[in-house]
Amino acid sequence: MSDADLIKLYSQRILALAADMPATDPLPAPDATVRKRAPLCGSTVEVSISCKDGRVTGYSQNVHACALGQASAAIFGANVIGRTKDEVRTLRDQLATMLKGGPVPDAPFGEYEVLTAAREYPNRHGSILLAPEATLEALESC
C-alpha cells in the first residue's frame, strides 16, 4: 500500500470518528453481550445491549480495531438506539453492499459514506462490519 493510498484510506474524518467513540460506558445490566472478531485483521468488538419491545434501548461497545473499524463502530454507536433487529440487519446488508461498490446505507447511517475508500481493501471489510454484526447477534436474545 503506497503512502497516497494510506492517506486516502485514513482521511481526517475517519480518524476523527475513531478518536471520538460513543457509547463506551458499560451498561449496568445488559440483556445481551456479544464479542466478535474479524479473522483477517484481528479486530474485535464487544457490544452490550438493553432492549425492550424488540428495540435497542441501551448500547455499549468496547472496540479494539483499526481506524476503519473504529470509525464504523462510532457511526453505528451514535445511531443504534431505537433500532430494531430488522433495521440493524438492513444496515449491515447495505454496508456490506456499499463495501462491494453499492450505494451508501440509508439514513440515519449515511455517514458511512466516509468509508467508501475502504472498498478497495477487502481485508478491512470484516472490521467495518463488526459492530452491526455483533449487535445483530445480541438482538437474538431480545
> 83-141 pLDDT, tens per residue?
999 999 999 999 999 999 999 999 999 999 989 988 988 989 999 999 999 999 999 98
Which single residue is written with the C-alpha cell 476523527? 16
> 28-87 pLDDT, tens per residue?
999 999 999 988 788 899 999 999 999 999 999 999 988 899 999 999 999 999 999 999
Closest CA to 76 of 16, 127, 115, 131: 131
- C-alpha 140: how far from chain center: 18
CB 15 within 8 Å of CB 67 = yes
CB 73 within 8 Å of CB 45 = yes
Helix (H) or strand (E) holding 79: helix 67-79
Q: Helix axis angle, 67-79 relative to 125-139, nearest 10°? A: 30
Instruction: Tell me the pTM.
Output: 0.90
